[in-house]
A and B are shown apart, each in its own frame.
Chain A
Amino acid sequence: MLDWRWDFTWDILPRLIAATGNTLLAAGLGYAIAVVLGLVLALAQRTPYRAVTIVVREAVEFIRSTPLVLQIFFVFYVGPQFGLRLSPWAAGMIAIGLHYAAYLSEVYRGGLESVPKGQWEAATSLNLSTARTYFRIIIPQALPPSLAGMGNYLVGIFKDTPMLSVIGVAELMHTANAIGSETYRFLEPYTLVGIIFLALSLPTAALIRVFEAWVRRKLGMY
């Protein structure tokens, strides 16, 4: 039956907290890649070239409908087959960044489409270039409606980082597995990992909602 050992808990807690730093780093880096790359994927679907639109659209669909853990394996193992060796961190960041870029591109796409056509016409009549129109007029207006989706995926990427443990990124789950195999005790490490995730993701989700409301108020939209 259940025997929770507090001395063991205090022993392993510092290790798990240190690994939490790696988890947050992985989530942060992956998200940074996804935010930028997602915008590229969204804009690529709005070029006048139909072929580009179709290829990018299909690639996004493909990435969105296949498992992240499989993509992580794919990126990590396929490189060496062709002579390109990636560290677990590099492979993990590419896989998770690309996966969430596909999700975020859908969020941006919705935001970009919600900008009224009149804004484009006004920019054209002011003789602004396409690039300038995007960066000064369209994207700033597309961001606020995208914020809710972006926030959800920030929490989402954080919760998906344990999958990086499968290729040996030393994040929270990897550390809990290591503790489990060293000590044959799984109750405390896995439970603590669950508690740490809850303790981080619930407040983050709440903060994001507050931030979103704040942005909406600031911009005078309700």
Chain B
Amino acid sequence: MSYLEFLGQYGDRILSGTLVTILLTVLASMLAMAIALAAGLMRMARSPIVRGVAVVYIEIFRGTSLLVQLYWIFFVLPLFGITLEKFTAGFVAVGMNLGAYGAELVRGAILSVPRGQWEAALALNMSPAKRMVRVILPQAVVIMLPSWGNLLIELLKGTALVALIAVTDLMFQVKQINGTTFLSAEAFGTALIVYYVLARFMITPFMRWLERVMQRRLGRA
């Protein structure tokens, strides 16, 4: 079978898998950003209890494998009475894992906003919440955006693991195709190229664009 015939026959399955992968990536990155922001801010809280919760969360999710977390959320969490549908379990696991890595980026970025900005906001009598939202966070976002670009590529790669709990993403589809046709080079090779295209020609340009927009909004471009 030529490669074109292969694409003709299995193209729609690969396409549907790709769409699931994109959907997973979008949902997981929204979850990861929310968790990263919350855990990153909690990590710097004054209360040791709040700080402790964030540290434990970050260390657990950074200290173990995504695959272990995925299996745990999918197979063990139901024993605690929380049953997640496999698609939900998939993006929740990926989002929670990358959120823990993102939390450290958020913390690092906030800490690297110049001290003078904090002092100026204090001098203007801003409340701590207003200071964070109006002065510190917008500058922190610009600082951490380049690292988030790398993190989102890691996230995209992480979504491939959800195929192992039978979410029908790109990885799952090509695994199935490989199982029935044994055309491994075509099936897995196509998936490799699709992932590469998603990472290099969608995520990276999108993040570059976002960096430019954010810098312009801060009047730095």
Cα separation A163 to B200 with both chains bound (whole Å): 23
Give the Cβ gap from A4 to chain B, nearest Cβ, in Å. Answer: 9
Give the Cβ gap from B182 to chain A, nearest Cβ, in Å. Answer: 7
Number of interface residues of A (CB under 8 A): 41
On chain A, the residues within 8 Å of B119 by CB distance are none
Known: A2-B79, A173-B68. A73 touches B63 (CB 8 A): no
On chain A, the residues within 8 Å of B158 by CB distance are 67
Measuring CB to CB, which residues of chain B are less than 8 angstroms from any residue of chain A?
Answer: 59-60, 63-69, 71-72, 75-76, 79-81, 153, 156-161, 163-164, 171, 174-175, 178, 182-185, 188-189, 191-192, 195-196, 199-200
Please report the number of residue pairs spanning A and B whose Cβ atoms sit closer than 8 angstroms: 118
Give the Cβ gap from A59 to chain B, nearest Cβ, in Å. Answer: 11
B164-A2 in contact (CB<8A): no
Given contacts A173-B68, A201-B63, 8 further A-B contacts (CB under 8 A): A65-B157, A159-B64, A163-B65, A173-B71, A180-B75, A186-B76, A190-B76, A205-B63
Cα separation A80 to B81 with both chains bound (whole Å): 44
Quick check: is A113 within 8 A (CB to CB) of the other chain?
Answer: no
A202-B59 in contact (CB<8A): yes
Main secondary structure of the interface of A (DSSP, over half): helix
Within 8 A of B (CB), among A49-82: 61-62, 64-71, 73-74, 77-78, 80-82
On chain A, the residues within 8 Å of B175 by CB distance are 73
On chain A, the residues within 8 Å of B68 by CB distance are 162, 173, 190, 193-194, 197
Cα separation A194 to B66 with both chains bound (whole Å): 10
Give the Cβ gap from A140 to chain B, nearest Cβ, in Å. Answer: 29
Most chain A C-beta atoms within 10 Å of own C-beta, residue among B69, B153, B184:
B184
Cα separation A163 to B159 with both chains bound (whole Å): 13
B195-A70 in contact (CB<8A): yes
B195-A67 in contact (CB<8A): yes
B81-A159 in contact (CB<8A): no
On chain A, the residues within 8 Å of B174 by CB distance are 70
Cα separation A198 to B157 with both chains bound (whole Å): 22
Known: A78-B185, A202-B59. A190 touches B71 (CB 8 A): yes
A66-B71 in contact (CB<8A): no
A69-B64 in contact (CB<8A): no
Partner of B171, one of A62, A67, A173, A198: A67
B171-A70 in contact (CB<8A): yes
Cα separation A166 to B175 with both chains bound (whole Å): 11
On chain B, the residues within 8 Å of A180 by CB distance are 75
Quick check: is A1 within 8 A (CB to CB) of the other chain?
Answer: yes
B161-A69 in contact (CB<8A): yes
Partner of A69, one of B75, B156, B160: B160
On chain B, the residues within 8 Å of A130 by CB distance are none
B79-A187 in contact (CB<8A): yes
A160-B65 in contact (CB<8A): yes
Within 8 A of B (CB), among A149-192: 159-163, 165-166, 173, 176-177, 180, 186-187, 190-191
Known: A65-B196, A69-B171, A77-B188. A201 touches B75 (CB 8 A): no
A65-B67 in contact (CB<8A): no
Cα separation A162 to B70 with both chains bound (whole Å): 11
Digit string of A65-103 for contact with B (CB within 8 Å is 1, else 0)? 111111101100110111000000000000000000000
Cα separation A12 to B65 with both chains bound (whole Å): 20
A1-B81 in contact (CB<8A): yes
A187-B76 in contact (CB<8A): yes
Partner of B200, one of A61, A70, A73, A205: A61
Cα separation A62 to B193 with both chains bound (whole Å): 9
On chain B, the residues within 8 Å of A201 by CB distance are 63-64
